[in-house]
C-alpha cells in the first residue's frame, strides 16, 4: 500500500496571519459530518461509501482508480476537448433534506489532496449559473481557491500565493464558511480569509469530485470549460448543522504563528508562538519543538500555554544561531477538549544576522 503522510507539511504564506476567535464552523450546534467519504474502497469499486450515518454514498466513475487508500484521477489536459462526464467524477446526489447544502449557516469542507498539475476543478456543488448558488474548489496555476457563491453574495479565499500546492505532496485542506466569512486552512495553518456575506446556498445539484458534470465539450450544454482534476483525494468530509448525533468532530487548527511562515531576518532571541482556533491540551516540550531545518537536535526551550489554552509559546533557552533556517513543529498529540487531534503542523523561518 502506498504510504500517505497525514502529518505536517511546510507552507509558504505571503502575508502575516491574524488571530481568529476560538470558533469553528457550526460550533454552536456541535456538528459532525454530513458527508464522510473515506475513499478507501478496493480496486474496481463503483460506490464510495459514506461513513457519516446519512447514507450519502457516491457513484465512482470508470476513469477513477481506487485501491491505494485514495481515489486517483487520470490526466486530461484542458485543451483536449473531450467530454467524459460522470466517467471522470465521483458523484454524490443532492439530499432532499438539505443536509448537503450550506444554506445560510456555518458549513465546512475538508479533504486531503495530492497533485502535480496546475489546473483542475477539484470539487464543487453547482456551477456559476446554478439557481441556489455554488461551492467550488479549483487549482489554477497550482493555487487552490475556495468559493461560496449565492444569488446575493460571493466569497472566495485561497491557499496563498507563495507556494503552489501542485508539488505532488499530500495536503490537508479545510474551508470554513460562516454567514459573513470564508476561511481556508492548509495543513492546519490558516492561509486566507475573506469577510463577505454569502447568502443562502441551497441547490439540487450533486456534489462532484474531479470536475463538473456539465461543460462545453461534446455532451455538455454550457460555455464552461471542463477542467478535469488530475491527482488524488484521500477523503472528503462535509460538516454542517444537520449531522447525526451531537459529538464534536471538528479538529483544532492554527489561526496564526509567530514568526510567520517563511519569515526572514527573525530576531535570534524571538519566542515562537502559535494561536489555535479553540482550546487544546497536550502542549509540552515533546509536542512543540524547534530544530534546524537541515537537521540537528531540538533547540532547548521552555514551552508554556496561556490560561485559555488557545496559545502556545516556545521560549528558547539559548540564542539561536544567525542566518539559520528553523522548523517549528506541533505534533498530533495536541488535541481539543473533545479529543480531536491537531492535524500536525510545521512552518519554517530564518534568523537574521
Give me 270's grid cell. 524571538
Q: How confident is the model at residue 338 (pLDDT cuts 50, 70, 90)?
A: confident
Q: What is the pLDDT of residue 25?
A: 35
Phi, psi of 29 (to 5 degrees): -110, 10
Give the confidence band of 162 by pLDDT, cuts at 50, 70, 90: low
Mean pLDDT of 35-51: 96
Rounded mean pLDDT, 50-79: 94
Alpha-carbon torsion 128, 83, 139, 207, what sign?
positive
Domains of the chain: 27-240 (2.60.120.200), 254-351 (2.60.40.1220)
Write down the pLDDT at residue 23. Answer: 33
* Cell numbers linked to 120: 483542475
Question: Does the structure show a pLDDT above 50 at 334?
Answer: yes
Local confidence band at 318 (pLDDT 50, 70, 90 cut-offs): very high
Cell digits for 7? 502529518
The answer to whether residue 21 scores a pLDDT higher than 60 is no
Identify the pLDDT of residue 20.
Answer: 31
Q: Please identify which residue in the block is written with the cell numbers 470558533.
A: 23
List Cα–Cα distances, 299 to 39, 281, 294, 325, 326, in angstroms: 39, 22, 13, 12, 10
pLDDT digits (tens, 9 = 90+) for 241-286: 755 554 677 789 999 999 998 899 999 999 999 999 999 999 999 9
Residue 163 has pLDDT above 80, yes or no: no
Residue 225: predicted pLDDT: 84
Q: Measuring CA to CA, which residue among 188, 98, 111 is closest to residue 146?
A: 111
CA distances from 265 to 162, 248, 268 (A): 17, 40, 9
What's residue 87's pLDDT? 96
- Give the pLDDT band of residue 329 (cuts 50, 70, 90): very high
Q: Above 90 in pLDDT, residue 300?
A: yes
- Give the model confidence (pLDDT) of 132-154 as tens digits: 999 999 999 999 999 999 988 89
Amino acid at each position: 500500500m502506498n504510504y500517505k503522510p497525514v502529518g505536517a507539511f511546510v507552507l509558504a504564506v505571503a502575508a502575516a496571519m491574524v488571530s481568529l476567535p476560538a470558533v469553528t464552523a457550526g460550533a454552536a450546534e456541535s456538528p459532525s459530518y454530513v458527508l464522510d467519504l473515506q475513499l478507501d474502497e478496493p480496486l474496481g469499486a463503483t460506490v464510495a461509501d459514506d461513513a457519516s450515518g446519512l447514507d450519502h454514498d457516491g457513484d465512482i466513475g470508470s476513469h477513477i482508480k481506487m485501491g491505494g487508500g485514495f481515489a486517483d484521477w487520470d490526466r486530461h489536459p484542458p485543451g483536449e476537448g473531450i467530454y467524459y462526464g460522470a466517467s471522470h467524477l465521483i458523484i454524490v446526489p443532492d439530499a432532499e433534506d438539505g443536509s448537503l447544502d450550506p444554506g445560510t449557516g456555518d458549513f465546512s469542507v475538508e479533504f486531503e489532496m495530492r497533485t502535480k498539475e496546475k489546473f483542475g476543478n477539484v470539487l464543487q456543488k453547482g456551477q456559476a449559473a446554478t439557481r441556489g448558488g455554488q461551492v467550488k474548489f479549483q487549482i489554477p496555476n497550482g493555487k487552490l481557491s475556495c468559493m461560496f457563491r449565492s444569488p446575493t453574495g460571493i466569497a472566495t479565499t485561497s491557499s496563498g500565493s507563495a507556494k503552489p500546492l501542485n508539488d505532488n505532496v499530500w495536503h490537508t485542506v479545510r474551508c470554513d464558511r460562516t454567514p459573513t466569512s470564508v476561511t481556508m486552512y492548509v495543513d492546519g495553518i490558516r492561509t486566507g480569509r475573506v469577510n463577505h456575506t454569502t447568502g443562502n446556498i441551497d441547490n439540487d445539484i450533486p456534489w462532484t469530485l474531479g470536475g463538473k458534470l456539465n461543460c462545453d465539450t461534446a455532451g455538455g450544454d454550457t460555455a464552461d470549460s471542463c477542467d478535469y482534476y488530475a491527482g488524488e483525494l484521500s477523503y472528503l468530509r462535509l460538516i454542517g448543522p444537520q449531522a447525526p448525533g451531537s459529538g464534536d468532530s471538528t479538529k483544532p487548527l492554527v489561526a496564526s504563528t509567530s514568526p510567520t511562515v517563511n519569515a526572514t531576518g527573525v530576531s535570534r532571541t524571538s519566542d515562537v508562538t502559535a494561536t489555535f482556533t479553540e482550546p487544546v491540551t497536550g502542549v509540552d516540550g515533546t509536542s512543540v519543538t524547534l530544530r534546524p531545518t537541515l537537521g540537528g537536535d531540538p533547540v532547548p526551550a521552555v514551552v508554556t500555554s496561556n490560561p485559555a489554552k488557545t496559545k502556545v509559546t516556545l521560549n528558547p533557552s539559548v540564542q539561536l544561531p544567525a542566518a539559520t533556517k528553523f522548523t517549528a513543529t506541533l505534533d498530533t498529540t495536541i488535541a481539543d477538549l473533545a479529543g480531536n487531534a491537531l492535524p500536525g503542523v510545521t512552518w519554517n523561518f530564518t534568523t537574521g544576522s
